[in-house]
Amino acid sequence: MTSKTVAVIGGDPVGLAAAAHLMERGMTPIVLEAGERTGHAVRQWRHVQLFSPWKYNIDGAAARLLASTGWNPPIRKSILRAASCSTTISIPLGPRRR
Ligand SMILES: Cc1cc2nc3c(=O)[nH]c(=O)nc-3n(C[C@H](O)[C@H](O)[C@H](O)COP(=O)(O)OP(=O)(O)OC[C@H]3O[C@@H](n4cnc5c(N)ncnc54)[C@H](O)[C@@H]3O)c2cc1C
């Protein structure tokens, strides 16, 4: 294990998943998000219903990290609106503001 600090550019699904993977490897991610908060890009189209079921919208490392906080995932087959997906992932995973 290493104690490296790694910058992740963008705090939407891929950036948050990358941060979760870094944490699993003992590194410290700093997520730099240009928007107001994490999930910024997905929130721009929050009214849209996703085309893929939830199980494809969540990264494994992110799911493990969220599970360790007592998080209740949506049903694997459910098809969420972007708003729910963003809230479900990015609020509990969202990094602290600095
Ligand atoms: C209408 C619509 C419906 C979709 N439905 C689905 C679906 O059902 N299933 C599916 O799997 N995919 C779906 N997608 C695709 C999916 O949303 C994207 O693949 C996913 O959001 C990409 O995530 P990302 O984190 O790479 O990029 P983005 O979501 O684009 O996020 C990039 C983030 O980086 C930030 N950023 C950009 N530049 C900088 C910078 N220089 N410094 C700091 N921060 C920066 C932005 O503010 C943003 O928050 C859909 C996309 C759209 C538009």
Residue at 98 is within a domain? no
79, 53 contact by CB (below 8 A): yes
Structure tokens at 42: 């997905």
Residue at 9 is within a domain? yes
Residue at 88 is within a domain? yes
The answer, yes or no, to whether residue 32 has pLDDT greater than 70, is yes
pLDDT tens per residue across span 71-85 = 889 999 999 999 888
Structure tokens at 5: 């600090």
Residue in 8, 9, 12 to alter for ligand 1 test, most ligand atoms within 8 A of Cβ: 12
Residue at 86 is within a domain? yes
What is the total count of domains within the chain? 1
Mean pLDDT across 30-34: 95
pLDDT tens per residue across span 50-75 = 999 999 999 999 999 989 888 889 99
Containing structural domain, residue 65: 5-93
Nearest CA owner, ligand 1 atom 24: 14
Residue at 75 is within a domain? yes
Measured in Å, residue 34 CA sits from the centre of ligand 1 at 13
Residue at 38 is within a domain? yes
pTM over 0.85: yes
Mean pLDDT across 88-97: 66
19, 9 contact by CB (below 8 A): no
Contact residues of ligand 1, CB 6 A cut-off: 9-15, 32-35, 40-42, 45, 48, 50-52, 56-57
